[in-house]
Structure 1
Amino acid sequence: MIRDLGLHLALIAVLFVLGLTLPDYHQGNMARILVLATYAVGYNVLFGYTGLLSLGHAMFFAAGMYGLGLVMQHGGWSPVPAFIAGLVSAALLSVIVAVLALRTVGVAFMIVTLMFSQSAFLTILYFGTWTRGDEGFVIPQAARQVAGLDLTDPVTRYMAALALFSVALLLVLWLVRRQEGAVLIGIRENEERTRMLGYNVLSHKILAVVMSGTLSGAAGAGYALLFGYVGATFASVQYSIFPLLWVLLGGAGTTIGPLVGAVFMFYLIDYSSGLTNAYMLIAGVVLVLLTLFARAGIMGEVRKRWAPWLP
């Protein structure tokens, strides 16, 4: 446990130094990546550790985003209470989804989560008077101030994104090193055997969905607060697929994998788009090759080949 904690604190320290030394362009990119990696960390709890494949996680991201954005836009709330409202919105939605969706298994669970997510997306469009639908709305710069800190300042924004990611990362590390985390992994590997050992499988699955959804909602609220935009695009299907790709690329069931996957995919598309208009073809070929020759993902292969102790 000490070694694991030391590794994660060292990673956070490296990210902190990068925030002070990176050029403006990469500093802005990394701030965005850290928030999206928080989203992937939440998704990894459900998919990587529990083995439940969700195709509707964008609804949790959007719940946090709109939970914060709407009360700031229409209620004049300050950022901290609004962020808590975003967390509560995502947590409540995740409880509802857990209770209903976990009545199904396998492919049915995937379809049900996708249906819930599409319902959330259509709800945002239906209440366009408040949400501004596809157009979305901007949170004014003057409203994005916390305790005298201007969250629109690049360095402050980066550090806030790092703080959000760090809390999510350490929380998941704490979970997977506890008995509850071992039970989640047991459910992923062999659900029936876990049930035969006397563990309440349903309650642990509910825990996984709620924790995953709340962390994803925290990422959504953080994105809205730090980048000042709330829009229905973030509730669409593509934002349910993105965290799946990041987790698969970085290594499902590894605590650091979601960050590695998000960084890899972001810069793969960024650099290939500077080479050709067919950048998605390059990205697709690289992703296929990585899937074929590193099936466990980047950090999954590192764990399998050189560091089996990695959480």
Structure 2
Amino acid sequence: MRGGGARAWTLHLAVLVLLLAVQFVLPAYHHGNLARIMVLASYAVGYNILFGYTGLLSLGHALFFAAGMYGLGLAIKLGGWAAGPAIVAGLGAGLLLSLAVGALALRTSGVAFMIVTLMFAQAGYLAILYFGAFTRGDEGFVIPREARMIMWLDLADAATRYFVALALFALCLLFCLWLMRQPLGRALIAIRENEERTEMLGYDTFRLKLVAVAISGTMSAAAGAAYALLFGYVGASFAAVQYSILPLLWVLVGGAGTVLGPFLGTLFMFYLIDIASGLTTAYMMIAGVVLVMITLFARSGLLGEARRRLWGWLP
């Protein structure tokens, strides 16, 4: 156990060091892409805590991503807040929404939980469109460069944006790695494996699942707030059902219940679509075929299969 833990920490820290190093040699196009991927991978890490480790399939996480994005964006646009306090507003919006949605949705289970979370997300999306006078609806709004400053840091600068995206991803990744070695993380995994037996052992599974929803939703909101701040745009498309499906795909492709899987899945899917779109207008068909192949031949995801076949110590 200790050896596996040391190897796991070494591996994940090495990945972060590699991400830090490559930014000095990447072309501008891939430099910007990787910054975007790290923010979206942070979103996927948050989703993985709920789906991959706790076993709760949510189709409503776009609500939390958008809560962070709009919480920050509207605080800056309407309230004239500085970036720092606006980040707190985005995180607070994500935490409160996740607690409220979790308290209601967790009264159901299975397919019903999936449908209820989807309904909440759709309600959030429609609310953004309905209050278009404030949110600008489908059009969205741009956060001006002068508002994207934290102290002396210009978050619109490419290098600064990359470092901040890396810092967010590192925080989410290492937190997940740490959490899954704590009693709380072990209890969440126990719920995934057998909730009835976990209850018999004396655990309050409803409370534990609510904590998982809150952690997952807040982490997703952090990614949404970071996306708005780093890339300067807030739009309703980020609250649509597509952004509830995408983290599920990223986690499944990379490996549900693995710490690095969400990053690997996000990286793989981002460049698969990017490369395929340069070859044909039917790029989603190519992506679909690849996803089917992964489902058939790597049912545990890319990293999940590596853990099953080669490195059983991978967390």
Q: Distance in 1 between matches of 2:285 and 2:119?
A: 30
> Aligned with 2:23: secondary structure?
helix
Task: Name the counterpart of 2:127.
Answer: 123
Q: How many residues align?
A: 311
1:72 and 2:63 matched: no
Q: Show structure 1 runs of 4+ deviating over 4 A.
A: none
Q: Name the counterpart of 2:87.
A: 83
Alignment of 1:1-311 (within 5 A): 1-311=5-315
**Cα distance in 1 between the residues matched to 2:151 and 2:24:** 21
AA matched with 1:24: A
* Mean Cα deviation higher: 145-154 or 159-168: 145-154
Give the distance between the partners of 1:224 and 1:278, measured in 2 at CA.
Answer: 29
Paired residue type of 1:3: R
Tell me the amino acid that sits aligned with residue 311 of structure 2. A
How many angstroms does 1:3 deviate by? 2.3
Q: Over residues 108-159 of structure 1, what are the superposed CA-to-partner deviations in whole Å (9 max), with x where a residue is unaligned?
A: 1001001100111111111111100110000001111112111111111011
Q: Which amino acid aligns with 2:147?
A: A
Partner deviation per Cα, 1:26-51 (whole Å, 9 max, x = no partner): 00000110000000000000000000
**TM-score, normalisation: structure 2:** 0.98
What is the percent sequence identity of the aligned residues?
A: 66
Query: Contact (CA 8 Å) 1:43, 1:244: kept in 2 or not?
Result: yes
Question: What runs of 5+ residues in structure 1 fail to find an aligned partner?
Answer: none
Q: Which stretch shifts more, 141-150 or 126-135? A: 141-150
Structure 1 length-normalised TM: 0.99
CA contact (8 A) 1:20 1:155 kept: no
Residues 84-130 of structure 1: CA deviation (Å, up to 9, x unaligned): 11000000000001111100011110010011001111111111111
Distance in 2 (alpha carbons) for counterparts of 1:236 and 1:275? 27
Give distance in 2, aligned partners of 1:3 and 1:281.
38
**CA displacement at 1:10 relative to structure 2:** 0.9
Distance in 2 between the 1:282 and 1:231 partners?
27
Cα deviation code 1:197-228 (max 9, x no counterpart): 11111111011100000000000000000000
Contact 1:55 1:241 in 2 (8 A): yes
Give unmatched runs, 5+ long, in structure 2: none
Amino acid at match of 1:142: E
